[in-house]
Amino acid sequence: MAEHSLPILVVEDDPSLREAIGDTLELAGRPYVAVDGGEAALKVLGEQAFSIVVSDVRMMPMDGIALLKEIRNRLPHLPVVLMTAYAEVDKAVDAMRSGACDFLLKPFEPKALLAHVNKYELPNCDDGAGVVAIDQASRDLFAIAQRVAQTDATVLLTGESGVGKEVVARFIHRQSARRNGPFVAINCAAIPDSLLEATLFGYEKGAFTGAQQAQAGKFEQAQDGTLLLDEVTEMPMGLQAKLLRVLQEREVERVGGKKPVALNIRIVATSNRDMAEAVARGVFREDLYYRLNVFPVAIPPLRDRPLDIVPIARYFLVEHGGRFGRNGVSFGAQAEQALLRHSWPGNVRELENVIQRALILSTGPEIGGEHLNLASAPGRELPRGIAEMPVQESDKKVDNMKDLEREHILRTLAEVDGSRKMAIERLGISERTLRYKLQQYRDEGYFKD
């Protein structure tokens, strides 16, 4: 894993200082992009992802405060550190109120710059551990996950089946102060009710027939680390009361035991159900729901983060290609179009299964659309103009996919007479994703209100 793969954006109109900051970052082995003003910064922010923005305050015609506010509108979770002179401390206070992470007083030492960058930058989401976040919806998700990871708050992850809840839970653990402790996961839906209590809480020797020796439960196994309660809404009501007590008291008592064990763990729970509805139907305790719902994080379905589809597919192609002895296999352009057309009701899990099937069905160095076997699966039609666009050469695949997506979105918007509500229904994306895309196209000169 490359610890810092995302570049840093430096915004400074003084050429000498811009060069000095660039030298500092380069000597530290940090990739960066340097621009001379706010307008240039907004342009590159629409073209690629950055881990953090370091910007001067006094610039013309757009100063650092105006740039900060614009970044907050477009990319609300992207960290921004502002550089300011001592005489402009009042502006720094205004910047903090507007959402800046911090400010650097000029002149500053190189180590101060690096300390601020290391403290506030977004994580590298493409980390070789199943986390791929290219779409802005995903980048926002992992920015939130990184922030809550710095605390010990209980996290409730919700989302459709197969959306990647455990991947997010593991990310939170790796980004937390407990990263060196254990990560223990238990699927509450996969263990019979009769065994779930003993599995969670452990048991003493002789507690029940077959208990020939004492056994620590999942709570104790997660000591000083993180415990993932996967699909917690599948837990029987009787056990929910015991779980509530453990969470309240922060101690667990083994089945058949008399001495409680103090716990020092982080709890992450997941559910693919509407938990408020489960509470209303009486199948999940309301008090336990509020105990788990300290910091809720909703994970968007794959169809609402379309820019992630092909990168995640490529990740699985490399991962499973190695296991299947198919290293070096790639997707053809038509296969990538087919991946984008599909609505992915099974989310990332379905995508992974499709890629494994394609590796088995294909024999050559390239996977074609016919190997994906998506024809009979539910999907969303692309406009005729997109479907009939000529396939680009392989070295232009990435650009072609961007062109396809932009043409698809703008054509759909035109077909519904500019109605964003109708457009997001047809496109199968969130309103936030559409808003971000349109702003990007405006900056690139493809779209005007």
pLDDT of residue 327: 81
Report how far apart, in Å, the C-alpha atoms of 391 and of each of 335, 367, 387, 397 are.
11, 15, 10, 8
Q: What is the pLDDT of residues 382-397, one digit of tens each?
A: 433 333 333 333 333 3
Report, as an integer, the average pLDDT of 60-84. 84
- pLDDT over 70 at 318, yes or no: yes
- 79 Ramachandran zone, left/alpha/beta (phi>0; psi -120 to 50): beta
pLDDT of residue 386: 33
Using a pLDDT cut of 70, give the percent of the chain over it: 84
pLDDT of residue 446: 65
Q: Which two tokens stand for residue 365?
A: 């160095």
Report, as an integer, the average pLDDT of 401-423. 73
Instruction: Identify which has the larger pLDDT, 90 or 205.
Output: 205
Question: What do you get for the CA distance between the two ends of the chain, in Å?
Answer: 42
Does this model's pTM top 0.85? My answer is: no
Range 8-120 has CATH code 3.40.50.1110? no
Q: How confident is the model at residue 375 (pLDDT cuts 50, 70, 90)?
A: low
pLDDT of residue 45: 87
Domain ranges of the chain: 8-120, 136-300, 303-443
Report how far apart, in Å, the C-alpha atoms of 203 and of each of 11, 14, 254, 260, 262 are.
59, 67, 5, 12, 15
pLDDT of residue 51: 83
Asked if the domains 8-120 and 136-300 are classified in one and the same CATH topology, the answer is yes
CA 256 from centre of chain = 42
- pLDDT over 60 at 3, yes or no: no
How far is 349 from 163, CA to CA, in rounded Å? 7
- Alpha helices for 100-158 (secondary structure H): 110-120, 136-149
Instruction: Identify which has the larger pLDDT, 92 or 424.
Output: 424
- pLDDT over 60 at 43, yes or no: yes
Give the closest residue to 409 by CA, choosing from 307, 281, 267, 291.
307
Decide: residue 237, CB within 10 A, 0-12 exposed, 13-18 middle, 19+ buried: exposed
Q: Indicate the SS3 state at residue 252.
A: strand
For 136-300, which CATH superfamily applies? Answer: P-loop containing nucleotide triphosphate hydrolases (3.40.50.300)
pLDDT of residue 117: 87
Single-letter residue type at 221:
Q
Q: What is the pLDDT of residues 327-357, one digit of tens each?
A: 878 888 889 889 999 999 999 999 999 999 9
- pLDDT over 80 at 97, yes or no: no
- List CB contacts of 274: < 8 A, sequence separation 6 or more: none
Of 152-161, 241-250, 278-287, 388-397, the least confident? 388-397
Q: What is the pLDDT of residues 251-277, one digit of tens each?
A: 998 988 888 999 999 999 999 999 999
CATH of 303-443, one of 3.30.70.100, 3.50.50.60, 1.10.1370.30, 1.10.8.60: 1.10.8.60
Instruction: Identify which has the larger pLDDT, 107 or 178.
Output: 178
Place of tokens 């993180």: 226
Report, as an integer, the average pLDDT of 46-55. 86
Average pLDDT, rounded, for the chain = 83
Report, as an integer, the average pLDDT of 354-375. 89
- List CB contacts of 417: < 8 A, sequence separation 6 or more: none
